[in-house]
Structure formats: structure tokens, C-alpha cells
Structure 1
């Protein structure tokens, strides 16, 4: 439910059916409207807890845990936060100690579950993919474990994240918005049984999940190719900034005196690119763009340009966060995201999203970029865009070179001129660079396909319910 001023007209029968409540919240949120539509359905309806494994025990809140972090993956499990479950790339998440998971077996998740954020922004959902199987997940996420003998897991997900499911999930017993989601809040949530539509929705959701997994494999393959050809290790350091000491030539400190720029990990990364015959990104024909800081005036859809922030670019589902007033945008289009750009988060804390890159598939083409996003745009056929992205964002060498450029103490940022001085290897042959480029482009297409399939599944469920409720 949006917090902006809203007006909604409701039938008097809704008020009669809901204890003559006159506060606007339950009606505007959509929860009561969803209940009214579902009540008119000719379809059979089951309670959610009757479709989960073990009844209400299939709605899992694992409880609070003590977080013990480890650097070595051999001693931990990848740990998904309530934000991570919505991300496309899970390769950079933290690891929690295996001893924590042994104390609470409900911490680990399996694929084909529905994951729902239960605090903060309640009701954001994800379908657990095969690459999430066996990972640990925060207690701030509720697990919905379907009984696959009774219902297809993809259908449960498609229904819960539909315009009928979401309002019911986030509403309390009487329609008020809840701040913490517990199993009993959604145990009796009605689930319409839609026959063959359930199988169709499940197939679409499963295909969407498989496309995301395949996309990740192609990205990993592209990064591994760069590492192998250039002789780069898979990992240089456990963290972006670790306690260390080093020495630097006096000529190297004329422009940057901060110690983190000259840390030994960064020096090692620089030496590796030098050995791989690296030349600067600018010399390789890569152009860099940064949006000017301006007064941001947002308007309704249809009256402005889609706008996205540095956090939004990492999401599995790309949607405009807001719409920026067109009159504020310059004619030179330095604000514009183009397909095949490499987007780099330029602000934040080192070790977080700063320095992390995202490949621009066609979903982001034409968006306006936040000032906290750098756009790198290759212009030379000798350095195709997918190769530039793979080096900077899919290898630890590229990431360390980006992270070292961070300047500032409170909120570090990446200066564009320093980023364009990063050297990109020329050791891979032109044919190899184009092979890497093709892997990245195929990965981007699969991400787009995944979002379209998931959207199609949800639309199918919503359309079937609407047509059955008339």
C-alpha cells in the first residue's frame, strides 16, 4: 500500500462483511477486496496450512540465531539475507559458520520453497532456486514448504505473489498491516484450486528459476575463462580491505596517498594485469558516464523516464523504482543507461555493493541512472562489452582494482577518472574475447527471459481468478 494520498470507493457490502470497519487501511491495502473476489469463486479453496508439508509446521520461522561469520567457505554456509533472496547474483554473499546451522536445522533451505520477508518490508517473495538449495537463510524470512503431493510449488509461489496473495499475506486478522509476519498469520490464507492452471503456472515458474540458474552458470563460465587465460587466481583476498602493510614507489603516491589504494592485494591485482599486457580502459575505447547531481522530481508513470538506484540494479526483477521528470534530464543523455553497458555501484562501504558490477540487458535500456551508478560503455570491437564486464565484475582481480579506487572516509565513492585508468588484459585473443562476450550476452537474455516467465505465471493466475470471480 502506497503512503501517498489515495481515494477508493468501496461497496457498502464490504463494510458489512468486515464488522462495519470505517478505517481506510484494510480497504485501500487490497486485502478486503481480495477476500471478496475469492469468496465469489466457484473454485474449491484450501487453507494454506493444508497444502504445506506437515500442516502449519510447513510454515517455518526458524527463530533468532547468533551470527558467527567465517571467511573460508569450507567452514560455513552461504547466508541469504532478506535482501539477498531477491538478488540475481548470489556469488558474493557472506558465509555463516556451520556450527550455527547445526544448532538450528531450520536455518537451511531447499529449492522449490517460497520465501517471504517477515520483517522490515513484509511480504517480498522469492522462489527458492536450485542454486539456493542447502544455503542458510536469515530468520527474517518465512519459509513456505509445499506438500508436493497436494500442490505444485510453483503455483503456490505464483499465487502468493499475485495481487490477490500479497494483500492477504501482509494483512492481519482484521486487515490491518502487520510489522512482523508469523506462521499463524497466513496459516488460514485461502488458496483457490485452479486445476490445470496450477500445473501451467508451476511450469512457468520452474522454467523461470532454471533460466536464472543457467544465467549464473554462464556468468561463472565467462569469469573462469578470463581467469584461466590470464593466469588469475579465483580469489585474491577474503575481504576488500584487510589489515596489511606494504610499500609503494614514490612515483605511485603522487596522485593517491591513501593506504588502501596501495594495499598488497591491490598491488597484486595490478601486477597480474600488467603481466597480462593490460592497457587502461580509456585506451581500450571504454567511455565512462556519471549522472549529474540534480534536483530529483518524480512523476507518475507515463510522464517521466524510468529511474533506478544503485541498489535496484542488482535485483532479480528489474522494474522502475520511480519516474524522473523528463524536463530535468539533459539533452546529452549522460543520464541514460544503454543495453550492454557495465553498471558499477560507485558509493557505499567497501566490502558492500561499492565496486560491484551489473550487466545491462535490454530490460534496463533507456532507464535514468542514479548519480550513485557509473556506466562504462565500450566502443571498440577489440574490447567487446561482455569481455569488459567479465573482467571487471566476474573476476576478483577486476573487483579489487575497482574497490581500491574508492576515495572518501565516511561514504567512499569511485572517481570516474580513476576507474578509467584501470588496466584491462589484452592477453585473450580477439576470438576469446568475443566468446566471453557471447557468454555474457546469453546470460543477460536468460535473466530477461526468467523475469518474463515469472510475470506470465502470475498474470495467468490473476486472470484465472478474475474470470472465475465474475
Structure 2
């Protein structure tokens, strides 16, 4: 339970400033404390609406509208929701019909915008990187478009995601069941201004981070394309799953006792499997014979904090985000060792209910800055025991739509689904020539180095801003 701090007691005047709101959230979230601190700073301050430009003054979300989703990228645009914007890889976004998108052109994301979740969980943020142009967003994503002639976009984003900006935005939320904010709720948020040299330095750090995140996206896509070309299956780069005949009325011969479930023999998935086995390959069971090929242990979670021996527990929700925000912090001492991954372990979402745009069957690679985290039992652990087939090479294939569709054909269970253990060991992995394998793996590794460096640059920018505010307040 949160209580007011003796150093910053709730004052009666605050009630009037908050429209006589009687719920505790605005007063105990740190928002008013941050606002009062900023008001006292001996520096110039602008209202947020004074440094933005564009549609509706530059702070906007969008109307509710009927969505028509398509499967062909020729007639649709990628569509981003308030959770999707947290992802590092936008390869699996739903596709919104262009006829709908063209009626709402201002919902197209422009590089340099700050994206804020404004419905449900309030205050999550992302900086619009260069490769996000051409993606549309839902009404649950508020866009803040800076006026570059007035304020650097990277500096504004850094302030909004800082310990001063986030509480003020989150405390503006209204609603009993589903919280939300509207543009006018944050239009008067105070933005401190510092020397142009400092603001530009912070901006350049954020811009470089955005470029590196785009390079990560391009890198993992290039690795997957290189993989299929190298093994002689370039057609699997553009699977067009929904344009193939549906799995109706197909015949299966030589059925074994391993599975009588029709989905495990679905014709479209079997065509992928036949293609994979038509070239030089090894089974996943062989590659992981001395490694790992299983989901994790179930265990009792004991809450902790990072300052007292705690570690982040990454679940299937946060696994694909740029950072595992909102991840639960649990006791490291009470967490089984099997929850921690060796370098270049591939994790696949392997428990739950599969949906077209869900996470089931999608893969991530654990390396670099994500190695200290613990991972829930819902991930399938895939750790190669062969140095000739490194995890980065496996990931280039397992992140593809072809691999995801094959994983989804191996469902087992009646409620929450899992992956059929025997079918999993037979999963075919095409083996490219050695020089190709090493090149593909290095492309993936460089992509992840770019991603980690982007995190460091954003953190450096945030540190510079916080230091400037603290020094001004001293």
C-alpha cells in the first residue's frame, strides 16, 4: 500500500489543481511531486502543446473505427497497437486494409514521434524509429509529434520517459475499469529546457539508438532471407500462408500412434516440412541431443526487488519487447537454475492458446543484456549441442513464418495448448554450407549487438537529463 511521504505531504491546494479528484492515484504516484519540482527549476519551461506540431496540434490518438484486416501486404499496411509498439521486431504485425488506412492518414507513424499507450496500461512509451514509417497505429496509441524548430525530438522523448514525465502522464488517467488519457490531459505538462548543446547531445543519442533498432530489425530479417537462400529454399521467404488452399479434406497415410490429431498432419504444414526435408537437414532432436529441448520448470515465485537479490522474470508477454518492462521481480535464490539461459539459447512461446497474431510458435534469442534474466516455464528452450549449428544460426530459421507455422501444427493438449514433444524432436532444420552458417549467425549476432547498444545510448541520454534536472534543482 502506498502512503504519502512526510517530505512531500499532500497539500489541500493540490486537490483544486487536480479538478477535486478524490482518488489517491494523482497524489501518491509521484506526479505532483515531479510537477512541483519542475515548477521550481530556475530554467525555462514550455507547455507540451507549445513544442508540438501537426494534426490536432501534435498531440493526438485517433477515433474508434471499424478495422478490416487482410492477409496480403499488397492491399494492407502494418497496424500497431499499444502493446505492439513495445516490440523489437515488427515482422508479425496484423495488416489493416489500405481502404481504411487511407481515410486516416494522420495515424501513420512518422520517425521522431513519441508513442504513448493511452488506454489500459498508461504511460508505456516508444520512440518512432526510421523503419516505422508506413505503419499505422490504433486509437490506443497517443502520438506526440515535436516541432523540430522548437525542440529536438530525442530530447522530448527522453524527458517524457523520465521519472519526471512518466508519473505526470500516468496520473492523468481516468476510468474505473479501463484507464485512459486524452490529449488535453497532458497538453499543459511542463517541459524543462536546457542549453541547446545538452538537448542536442541527448537528441543525437536517441536518434542513434533509433537507427540501431532499425538496424536490428533489418539484420534479423536479412539473416532469415539469407538462411532460406543458402539452403536452396528461397520460396519460403514469402510463404503467403493464407493464399494456399485451406486444410480441408486432406488424406494422411502411415499414421502412427504418436498422434491422431488432424492438426498435426495438416497439409499446408506438411508441405513446409517436406520442403525442409528435401534439402540437407538434421532434426532438432539430433542438434539438441546434448543441449536442451524442453520447457522450463514450474516453481513458486517469491517476490523481491532488484536491490535485494531479485531478478526479472521474463514471460511470454515481455519476451518480444525491446526491454522487459513490467516484468515481475522475484527472488534469485528461490529461482531454479533452469530458468536462466546459456548464451544463444533460442526460446519459443510454447504454451497458451494460438491465435493468428498471437505469440505461440514465435522465437526469441537470449544473448547479450538479456542473459541475466530468468525465463518462465512457458518458453520452449532450444540449446544446440553442436558448435557447427550455433544458436544464432538456428534463430535465423526459427524466427521465420515457416517455422512458426510448423510449430503451430504440433499442438498438443485440450485447453492451453503445448507443443507435441515427439513431433518436436523430428522438426527438420536445414543445414547450409559451413561458411554460410557462420555468415548467417554473425548477421544475427551483430543485430543483437546493435539492439544492446541502442539500450545503452537511451540510458545514457536519460542519465544526462536526470543529472541536469538534479543539478538545476540543487
Q: Give the match for residue 204 of structure 1.
A: 205
Q: Give the match for residue 129 of structure 2.
A: 129
Q: Give the match for residue 14 of structure 2.
A: 18
Q: Give the match for residue 321 of structure 1.
A: 327
Find the partner of 2:254 among 240, 245, 251.
251
| 2:175 corresponds to 1:172 | no
| 2:276 corresponds to 1:280 | no
| 2:457 corresponds to 1:456 | no
| 2:371 corresponds to 1:372 | no
Q: Give the match for residue 446 of structure 1.
A: 450
Q: Give the match for residue 236 of structure 1.
A: 239
Cα distance, 1:307 vs. partner?
A: 1.1
Cα distance, 1:55–1:434 mapped onto 2, change above 3 Å:
closer
| 2:413 corresponds to 1:418 | no
Equivalent residues in 2 for 1:66-465 (5 A)?
66-172=66-172, 179-195=179-195, 196-232=197-233, 233=235, 234-238=237-241, 243-245=246-248, 247-285=250-288, 286-301=291-306, 302-318=308-324, 321-330=327-336, 333-350=337-354, 351=356, 352-393=358-399, 395-426=400-431, 428-465=432-469
Cα distance, 1:190–1:12 mapped onto 2, change above 3 Å:
closer
Cα distance, 1:27 vs. partner?
A: 3.1
Residues 53 and 145, structure 2, Cα contact 8 Å, conserved in 1: yes
Distance 2:46 2:392 in 1: 48
Distance 1:296 1:317 in 2: 21
Q: Name the count of aligned residue pairs.
A: 461
**Which one is further off, 333-342 or 63-72?**
333-342
**Which one is further off, 341-350 or 73-82?**
341-350
Q: Could you say what secondary structure the match of 1:424 adopts?
A: strand
RMSD of the TM alignment (CA)?
Answer: 2.4
Distance 1:319 1:160 in 2: 16
Cα distance, 1:210 vs. partner?
A: 0.5
Distance 2:64 2:122 in 1: 17
Cα deviation, 1:259-280, whole Å, max 9, x if unaligned, reads: 1111121111111111112221
Cα distance, 1:163–1:240 mapped onto 2, change above 3 Å:
farther
Residues 49 and 56, structure 1, Cα contact 8 Å, conserved in 2: no
Distance 1:374 1:262 in 2: 21
**Which one is further off, 257-266 or 85-94?**
257-266
Residues 378 and 384, structure 1, Cα contact 8 Å, conserved in 2: yes
Cα deviation, 1:13-68, whole Å, max 9, x if unaligned, reads: 75154248896433320111101110111110011111011595211122111100
Cα distance, 1:245–1:387 mapped onto 2, change above 3 Å:
same
Residues 282 and 421, structure 1, Cα contact 8 Å, conserved in 2: yes
Cα distance, 1:106 vs. partner?
A: 2.1
Cα deviation, 1:307-366, whole Å, max 9, x if unaligned, reads: 110111100113571233345434xx2222222110111123323100100011222213
For structure 1, the residue ranges without an aligned partner over 5 or more in a row are none
Q: Could you say what secondary structure the match of 1:465 adopts?
A: helix
Cα distance, 1:298 vs. partner?
A: 1.9
Distance 2:35 2:242 in 1: 49
Cα deviation, 1:186-238, whole Å, max 9, x if unaligned, reads: 11111111122211111111111100100111111110111112232213343
Residues 307 and 321, structure 1, Cα contact 8 Å, conserved in 2: yes
Cα distance, 1:204–1:240 mapped onto 2, change above 3 Å:
farther
Cα distance, 1:242 vs. partner?
A: 7.8
Cα distance, 1:24–1:173 mapped onto 2, change above 3 Å:
closer
Distance 2:108 2:72 in 1: 18
Distance 2:54 2:274 in 1: 57
Cα distance, 1:241–1:139 mapped onto 2, change above 3 Å:
farther
Distance 1:412 1:242 in 2: 25
